Structure 1
Amino acid sequence: MPLLDTPVRLGVQIQPQHVQYGDIRDAVRRLEDLGVDILFNWDHFYPLSGDPDGLHFESWTMLAAWAEQTERVEFGALVNCNSYRNADLQADMARTVDHISAKGGTGRFIFGTGSGWFEKDYEEYGYEFGTPGTRLDALAEGLVRIDARWGKLNPAPTRRIPVMIGGKGEQKTLRLVARHADIWHSFVGADDLAHKVEVIERWAEKEERDVSGLIVSNELHRRGQDDADALFDAGARLFTLGFPGPDWDYDVVRSWLRWRDAKNA
């Protein structure tokens, strides 16, 4: 099992839809001041709910702005879509955002990535949609190229950039987790979490990689504290909360921060 003495952290996913960018900038400031550990957006080109053609902003340019705006929080996309950008370019972008966030110290960027799924993005922007299998194969190839490019860039990243991979498929996705990830994110319930971790560990044996330090991440959306307690008992240590605007509910965030602090006491 991954290490269970890892502190609990709270990540908040600012949904970049149906708001002006000024609203997002203000939410970033307030959430950092409240003590959130990680800020996420998502990598899509259109809203995922509500008006399908409503207001929406692009992920990576936003992350560069967050790198400059923030001082303490880690941040990244939950998650980047591998299909939308050349893999070596992704590595260079991640390295650059990492440096922007360092401000004389160590960078704070988390490289969350996945194979992609939102067909409208592909159709509207001219990417080949393919199949889940072909997109996962492309992600596998891309992760190798990204890691290699990080080793060639000058200057290098300020730290070994943490890799977060999302998903639960046992034949391909969890093997990629075992091969590359520092953080595994899913929506898997507490009852199934231990089994999925065992699958990752079996793949890690084949990959000859130590995953004892893997951080297990899960989602709080539509879940209460009893659910979070069960996920904690099953090994989750990073909990992410979807945060829609423009009527940001900071009281919900404060409640989960109190829960986090109680777990870490």
Structure 2
Amino acid sequence: MTRPVRIGVQLQPQHAPEYNLIRDAVRRAEDAGVDVVFNWDHFYPLYGDPDGAHYECWTMLGAIAEQTERVQLGALVTGGGYRNPDLLADMARTVDHISGGRLILGIGAGWFEKDYDEYGYEFGTAGSRLALLKEYMERLTARLGKLNPQPLRDIPILIGGGGEKKTLRLVAEYADIWHTFAELDVLERKSKILADHCAEVGSDPAAIERSVNWPGADAAPTLVAAGATLFTVGTGGPDYDLSVLEEAIRWRDEFNPESVAGIA
């Protein structure tokens, strides 16, 4: 399956004392030609002052959906352990309608213990969180099929993580996009493991888009050769510096000049 190289930006909702700083960053990113605008689903900053300014993920996605016209949008990624899956499906359907069918539903097992402890959720173990994610994926996808009105399209599901036995199995079963932090050799090896899981569940590994963090223009072509086509630049507040994003967009246009920003 041939797909265009795409560039995303993760506007980390941390250290922005006023929401208009995020709104302005969304505007600048869309104007620059980015394909996807992500945020993340945490309740506290991951870097810098641990008690710094921070905003909630899904209410923000509704605002981004209303503000933008072209970009796809979503969480990189939703914390599965503290989102009721039936309600999450309804939230996703609603944001999909607000955006005119541009939502990517990103989800993972969760890992940041402070999110759980401070908001009263059970953190458990890596194994228990993955088991919960499996249960939640079944419920989420079932609920999406029951909603009235239905989403405007089959909402693409992005699953983040690299666990070879459980996470990649869920990717094979449910995902349209797989996000990993892997280096080249790990990406290649885990892609083969994903292909094995796909064979077991009867899905097509080529239909699953590979998503990674932006490695720089020098390294990106080797990752494209390994199958990655969605590259995401991360940036946080309060400044939301988009200079690296602009570099990545220029590389995309030179690497794949026939592509048009925003094509899925």
Q: Please say whether Structure 1 and Structure 2 have the same fold, judged by a TM-score greater than 0.5.
A: yes
Structure 2 residue aligned with 1:16, among 4, 13, 16? 13
Percent identity over paired residues: 59
Gaps of 5+ in 2: 258-264
Q: Verify the 8 A CA contact 2:11 2:240 in the aligned structure 1.
A: no
Paired residues of 2:233 and 2:244 also in contact (CA < 8 A): no
Match of 2:203 among 202, 209, 212: 209
User: Residue 25 of structure 1 aligns with which residue?
Assistant: 23
**Residue-pair matches, total:** 256
Give the TM-score normalised by structure 1: 0.95
1:243 corresponding residue in structure 2: 235
Once the two structures are TM-superposed, the CA of residue 49 in structure 1 deviates from its matched residue by: 0.6
User: What does residue range 106-145 of structure 1 map to in structure 2 within 5 Å?
Assistant: 107-145=101-139
Match of 2:44 in 1: 46
2:79 alignment partner AA: C
Q: For residue 212 of structure 1, give the secondary structure of its aligned residue in structure 2.
A: helix
Gaps of 5+ in 1: none
The separation in 1 between residues aligned to 2:41 and 2:116, in whole angstroms, is: 12
Tell me which residue corresponds to 1:258.
250
Amino acid at match of 2:192: E
SS at structure 2 position matched to 1:13: strand
Equivalent position to 1:230, from 222, 235, 240: 222
**Equivalent pair of 2:172/2:205 in contact (CA under 8 Å):** yes
TM-score, length-scaled by structure 2 = 0.95
Looking at structure 1, the residues matched to 58 and 235 of structure 2 have their Cα atoms a distance apart, in angstroms, of: 18
Task: Work out the CA distance in 2 between the residues paired with 1:144 and 1:27.
Answer: 35
Residues 70-109 of structure 1 show CA distances to partners (whole Å, capped at 9, x for unaligned) of: 110000000001111211000000000000111xxxx100
Q: Distance in 2 between matches of 1:34 and 1:225?
A: 17
1:154 to 144, 148, 152: 148
Matched, 1:34 2:28: no
What is the match of residue 176 of structure 1? 170
Partner of 1:61 in structure 2? 59
Shift, 1:245, TM fit: 2.2
The ranges of structure 1 where at least 4 consecutive aligned residues each deviate by more than 4 angstroms after the TM superposition are none
Could you say which residue in structure 1 is the equivalent of 2:180?
Answer: 186
